[in-house]
Amino acid sequence: MKGKKILLSEEDIPKYWYNILPDMPTQLSTPLHPQTQKPLTPDDLKIFPKAIIEQEMSSEKEIRIPDKVREIYSIWRPSPLVRAYNLEKALGTPAKIYYKNESVSPAGSHKPNTAIAQAYYNKMEGVQTLTTETGAGQWGSALSLAGSLLGIDVRVYMVKVSYNQKPYRKSMIHAWGADVYASPSNKTQVGRNALEKDPNNPGTLGLAISEAIEDAVTHENTNYTLGSVLNHVLLHQTVIGLEAKKQLEMVGDYPDVILAPCGGGSNLGGIGLPFMRDKINGKDVKIVAVEPASCPTLTKGIFHYDYADVAKMTPLLLMYTLGHNFMPPSIHAGGLRYHGDSPILSQLRKDGLLDAVSYMQTEVFEAGLLFAKTEGIIPAPETCHAIKGAIEEAVKAKEEQKEKTILICFSGHGHFDMSSYDTYLSGDMKDYEYPEGKAKEALEYLPEI
Ligand SMILES: Cc1ncc(COP(=O)(O)O)c(C=O)c1O
């Protein structure tokens, strides 16, 4: 029998996260204060614990993973690297397709890799409650899991369209003892304002972020956590790429192409940055962000300072953006409906080191179903994007009769997304193209910096 899974032992759970900041060819631009537009100081970031603020700006290439965090990681890590033989066969491709299966975590995605770390540092600094936003519900459930394992309360603002699409994400969050509200909610001023303007507002990640921040700054001993975008989040996610690299070494392989779905960039950063380090040093590896055509931040956005949220409460970050008030259509990959992107990935894209493609949601679900029928696992709608990208690469390899090694981040399973699969299977799913030139309109709302 051919080996299907490449497995590491618990001893192999990485002891250090990889911090790309000191290796970046162009250093990141300083985040700016949202009101004064002056460079941000650690004092401006009081909604985060000190250890996280240090990581956000660290110049150390390797940051030690606390023992307690490794111990919790061992519930599901190291995650398997799996060879998708059946998918390869169905495509008739000479390419090898590997997927790093992050869906094996208790919450069903890569998100607990950073949720555990963030909850740990907050707990160490005596914080009692954490607030956050969630799009697809994956991040909210991951943080609820972390809160439950580390003894910290969690309040989640879940984008309303996902809240309605995925009632069992809500149940999962409750099962781990956390609270969850549909955003926009009447719990915050930002939410009440949005509801007054439009009682049917479906919500966006940018709006839910504003609500979670307002909640944190208006309550004692309460901190805010973000599940993507920021440097420390990508840092924690590098366990994915560090493990995958070791697993590929075990079978004498190295990827030609790495693909991951990209919302704010955390799973792409997680799998991609340890390989990006090689690329910066001259290695030939293509790293690709796969986005929805309806919210194509890296493919069609503008590289500009912008807010990470709708209410302009977050620092200004230099990133690719579609504008903080862009309201993406209510597509089924809720975790990819975000106007901005990670500053690290944005800078790498600007420097020509990161590729980006975008696809329509129906072709993405078609790819996900081919994966489910050949490899067995039903992917999250976000994950289907990477699968679609991998299929395109594998078909190209077939046309060119080239051997190629493709690595994807299987960021999550779709067990709570079955209503989206139903919509696709009944033929009711619609495609949305981001209108050409719309990004220029967003420029009107961007701060002049
Ligand atoms: C399964 C899954 N994949 C990918 C993403 C996109 O997030 P990020 O770009 O931070 O990895 C999400 C976000 O919720 C998700 O739930």
Residue 226 has pLDDT above 80, yes or no: yes
409-426 confidence digits (pLDDT tens): 999 999 999 999 999 999
Enter the tokens of residue 237.
């996610």
Residue 281 CA, ligand 1 centroid: distance in Å:
28
Exposed, middle or buried: residue 164 (CB in 10 Å: 0-12, 13-18, 19+)? middle
Enter the tokens of residue 172.
């999962």
Give bridge partners of residue 291 from the DSSP assignment: 358
- Quickly tell me which residue has 């002056």 as its tokens: 38
Atom number in ligand 1 closest to CA 102: 1
Share of the chain above pLDDT 90, in %: 87
**DSSP letter (8 states) at residue 80:** P
Question: What domains appear along the chain, each with residue ranges and CATH number?
Answer: 67-108+231-443 (3.40.50.1100)
Exposed, middle or buried: residue 367 (CB in 10 Å: 0-12, 13-18, 19+)? buried
Query: Which residue, judged by its Cα, is nearest atom 16 of ligand 1?
Result: 138
The best mutation among 266, 271, 346, 354 to test binding of ligand 1, ranked by most ligand atoms within 8 Å of the C-beta, falls on: 266
The length of the chain in residues reads 449
Q: What is the pLDDT of residue 247?
A: 98
167-225 confidence digits (pLDDT tens): 999 999 999 999 999 999 999 999 999 999 999 999 988 899 999 999 999 999 999 99
The best mutation among 79, 113, 141, 336 to test binding of ligand 1, ranked by most ligand atoms within 8 Å of the C-beta, falls on: 336
β pairing state of 302-307 and 316-321: antiparallel
Do you find a cis peptide bond into 435, omega within 30 degrees of 0?
Answer: no
- Does residue 416 line the site of ligand 1, with CB under 6 A? no
Instruction: Give the DSSP per-residue string, 281-303.
Output: TT---EEEEEEETTS-HHHH-EE
User: Does the reported pTM lie above 0.95?
Assistant: yes
Query: Which residue, judged by its Cα, is nearest atom 7 of ligand 1?
Result: 263
Q: What is the pLDDT of residue 206?
A: 84
Exposed, middle or buried: residue 303 (CB in 10 Å: 0-12, 13-18, 19+)? middle
The best mutation among 111, 165, 345 to test binding of ligand 1, ranked by most ligand atoms within 8 Å of the C-beta, falls on: 111
- Does residue 381 line the site of ligand 1, with CB under 6 A? no
Average pLDDT, the chain: 95
Q: If DSSP codes are grouped into helix, strand and coil, which group holds residue 332?
A: coil
Residue 86: which pLDDT band, with cuts at 50, 70 and 90? very high
Contact 148/177 with Cβ under 8 angstroms? yes
Instruction: Give the DSSP per-residue string, 41-63.
Output: -GGGGTTS-HHHHHHHT---SEE
Lowest mean pLDDT among 2-11, 202-211, 258-267: 202-211
Give bridge partners of residue 295 from the DSSP assignment: none
Backbone angles phi, psi at 37, to 5 degrees: 60, 20
- Quickly tell me which residue has 């994915």 as its tokens: 240
- Does residue 266 line the site of ligand 1, with CB under 6 A? yes
- Quickly tell me which residue has 């303007």 as its tokens: 197
323-353 confidence digits (pLDDT tens): 998 888 888 898 898 899 999 999 999 999 9
Atom number in ligand 1 closest to CA 269: 11
- CA angle 303/322/427 to nearest 5° reads 135
